[in-house]
Structure 1
Amino acid sequence: MRRFLLSLLLLSVVAVWGWTFVVVKDAVAGYGVLSFLAIRYALATGVLAAAVAWRVRWPSFWAGAGIGLALAAGYLFQTFGLRFTTASHSGVITGLFVLFVPGANRLLFGVRTAPLVWGAIGASLVGLALLSGGAPQGANAGDALTLGCAAAFGLHVVLLDRYAKHHDVRSLVLGQLSAAAALFVAGGLLFERPAWPAGGVWCAILVTAVLATAVAFFVQTYVQQRLPAVPTAMILLLEPLFAALFGRLLHGDRLTGVQLAGAALMSGAALVVELYPLLRKRAGPASAR
């Protein structure tokens, strides 16, 4: 039951990210992506620092800063990749982070992944391809950059899984956001012309900074203290599903039967990974008899 509640908590964060995908898409239509991320993460860092500054544990903060570099690298690869590839390519390739999670876990920390879970990962990627309109065709430089994004996001999940269990959550999150904000500010100054956001953009910044960044990454870090990396990744992979659902509700985007089948496949795969520990426990006593 405790694991189920933690999964629901993380799923609520993923739903928020799916909703803010629609919000951010509207906001950055006329404003620089890196500048948006810079203000969003700087504001989120300030909000969290105001809440926890007197309780910062510096070893945890610096560990979080290192993990935050992987998070920021993922966003930067994704942002620059979108200059050379399509949004559908980006969505499918970014979803490959779920493959990098067990791979990096095995390579860095010797953690094995069960065959059933590998099967669920494969099914979820097929579902993601269906939801996004098909597998990418005609690879280009943007796809390669986006693959770097997937690797960085996968590494972020694995490192968070490894170190969250041994560090203070508040300090770890503050370190992540601080490092990401610093990189985004540098990127915005180097590659974009700084400009004052319009009123609508400010609304999107405030919502995403507080709810989808400060609160969301605190919840993710808290959950990853208690849940393994692969089940976490499977839940995080559902973000495009929520983005599609909110796109339908808020923008009137149409979902075809194929896309709905992809959504169902992704949800089923995530459920299999979630139930796997329970099934394994039940199979244990049965096999012993």
Structure 2
Amino acid sequence: MTATASLHRSRALLMLLCANFFWGLSFPVIKGVVLVQERLVPLAGSWFYTVNVVAPRFLLGVILILLFRPRTFFHSTRAEWTQGVVIGLFSAAGMLFQNDGLQFTAASTSAFLTQLYAILIPIYVALRSRRAPGPVVWLSCGLVLAGVAILGRFDWRAAHLGRGEWETLLASVFFMGQILWLEKPAFAANRALNLTLIMFATQAVVFGGLTLLTMPDWAALGTMWTSPAWVALILILTVFCTVVAYWLMNAWQPKISATEAGLIYCVEPIFGSAMALFVPGLISAAAAIAYANESLTMNLLVGGGLITAANVLIQLRPPLRHA
């Protein structure tokens, strides 16, 4: 690998870590949004709460991008439309099944099963290329899964596959599809901002329709937008956890392999756990809700250490060839 190629790869890894940082921030912020919604519209139902967290992010994301680059839609190529719509559908389906599955299984189980794309990607790449990914990749995958299991306090004795587990597994497959479509060589010339805009527009349409299906009445939607706390939290989700994070993903993930990307994305629980140590208290004070900070535990230290070790290990080996 040349010095220039190594620099670009290192920069790509750093940018994807930044994206994971913002996605980690999204966990306590989303929880805060839901708690505010429950206070404002107490009888709306869990489906409405879930969808109404996601839909505004992508709708406002489209608006923000168009404010700065109003001609992006009209100057997008056919390849950018194709990739953006497909990735948007993969992402929307993954979010939908993941959030619905959470209604029927424990959060720790959901976190563990969602991260299975770290295993599914190298298996898929190996089957497609008819070549084993190598022992370092498998060892890194094992460390990631062990780390996520410890972080989520996964209980093997209570594990079973009901509706929630199957839906979460299906969500992981869709997230894998999103990662793989993003690295397709045929779309290498696509521009990240155009791709991000089309992806957001696709998800805004999907979740906007689901909002209309799940809302109790129009007054429930209006009540949300009259709350300064809800609007502020949604803007944080939109700007940092959606526009910036997904733009970084779309711009820099194609510069590394899908297997490496899948493992790097597993750092997200570390950032999420760290944010949960202090962000809930800040949200509680600002939004006048009861949302306590979490505590630093051995699960966080051990689980986070295993995930970090897996990512260091995968980066010390020669870079994987793009599939």
Provide the TM-score with structure 2 as the length reference.
0.80
> Where does residue 195 of structure 1 map in the other structure?
221
Q: For residues 212-266 of structure 1, what are the alpha-carbon distances to aligned partners after superposition, in whole Å with 9 as ceiling and x for unaligned?
A: 1112111101112311111111111111111111112334312322331111010
Alignment of 1:82-161 (within 5 A): 82-107=102-127, 113-135=133-155, 137-139=158-160, 140-161=162-183
Query: CA 1:118/1:138 → structure 2, altered by over 3 Å: closer, same or farther?
Result: closer
> Where does residue 95 of structure 2 map in the other structure?
75
Would the aligned equivalents of 1:33 and 1:79 in 2 still touch at CA under 8 Å?
A: yes
C-alpha separation in 2, matches of 1:18 and 1:39? 19
Q: Is residue 168 from structure 1 mapped to residue 191 from structure 2 by the alignment?
A: yes
> Where does residue 284 of structure 1 map in the other structure?
none
Query: CA 1:245/1:129 → structure 2, altered by over 3 Å: closer, same or farther?
Result: same
The range that moved more, 111-120 or 56-65, is 111-120
Would the aligned equivalents of 1:92 and 1:132 in 2 still touch at CA under 8 Å?
A: yes
Q: Is residue 218 from structure 1 mapped to residue 235 from structure 2 by the alignment?
A: no
C-alpha separation in 1, matches of 2:198 and 2:127? 25
Helix, strand or coil at the partner of 2:295: coil
The range that moved more, 253-262 or 89-98, is 253-262
> Where does residue 259 of structure 1 map in the other structure?
300
Helix, strand or coil at the partner of 1:185: helix
Aligned-pair distance for 1:8?
1.1
Would the aligned equivalents of 2:83 and 2:182 in 1 still touch at CA under 8 Å?
A: no
Instruction: Determine which structure has the larger helix proportion and give its number.
Output: 1
**Root-mean-square deviation over aligned CA pairs:** 2.0
For these two proteins, the number of residue pairs brought into alignment is 279
Residue type of the alignment partner of 1:231:
E
C-alpha separation in 1, matches of 2:89 and 2:175? 10
- Tell me which of 37, 52, 71 is aligned to 1:35: 52
Residue type of the alignment partner of 2:278:
L
C-alpha separation in 2, matches of 1:109 and 1:208? 38
- Tell me which of 77, 89, 94 is aligned to 1:58: 77
Q: Is residue 12 from structure 1 mapped to residue 18 from structure 2 by the alignment?
A: yes
C-alpha separation in 1, matches of 2:264 and 2:129? 22
C-alpha separation in 1, matches of 2:247 and 2:182? 11
Between the aligned residues of both structures, percent identity stands at 26
Would the aligned equivalents of 1:38 and 1:181 in 2 still touch at CA under 8 Å?
A: yes
> Where does residue 183 of structure 1 map in the other structure?
206
Residue type of the alignment partner of 1:266:
I
Residue type of the alignment partner of 1:179:
T
> Where does residue 8 of structure 2 map in the other structure?
2
Query: CA 1:111/1:164 → structure 2, altered by over 3 Å: closer, same or farther?
Result: farther
Provide the TM-score with structure 1 as the length reference.
0.89
Q: Is residue 22 from structure 1 mapped to residue 28 from structure 2 by the alignment?
A: yes
C-alpha separation in 2, matches of 1:274 and 1:138? 32
C-alpha separation in 2, matches of 1:108 and 1:167? 24
Q: Is residue 277 from structure 1 mapped to residue 306 from structure 2 by the alignment?
A: no
Aligned-pair distance for 1:114?
2.5
C-alpha separation in 2, matches of 1:113 and 1:172? 29
Q: For residues 84-130 of structure 1, what are the alpha-carbon distances to aligned partners after superposition, in whole Å with 9 as ceiling and x for unaligned?
A: 11221111111112122223334567675232112101111001101
Residue type of the alignment partner of 2:172:
A
C-alpha separation in 1, matches of 2:187 and 2:308? 26
Helix, strand or coil at the partner of 2:154: coil
C-alpha separation in 2, matches of 1:134 and 1:118? 21
- Tell me which of 208, 216, 241 is aligned to 2:270: 241
Query: CA 1:78/1:48 → structure 2, altered by over 3 Å: closer, same or farther?
Result: same
Gaps of 5+ in 1: 281-289
Query: CA 1:199/1:161 → structure 2, altered by over 3 Å: closer, same or farther?
Result: same
> Where does residue 285 of structure 1 map in the other structure?
none
Residue type of the alignment partner of 2:175:
F
Aligned-pair distance for 1:135?
4.3
> Where does residue 230 of structure 1 map in the other structure?
259
Query: CA 1:221/1:111 → structure 2, altered by over 3 Å: closer, same or farther?
Result: farther
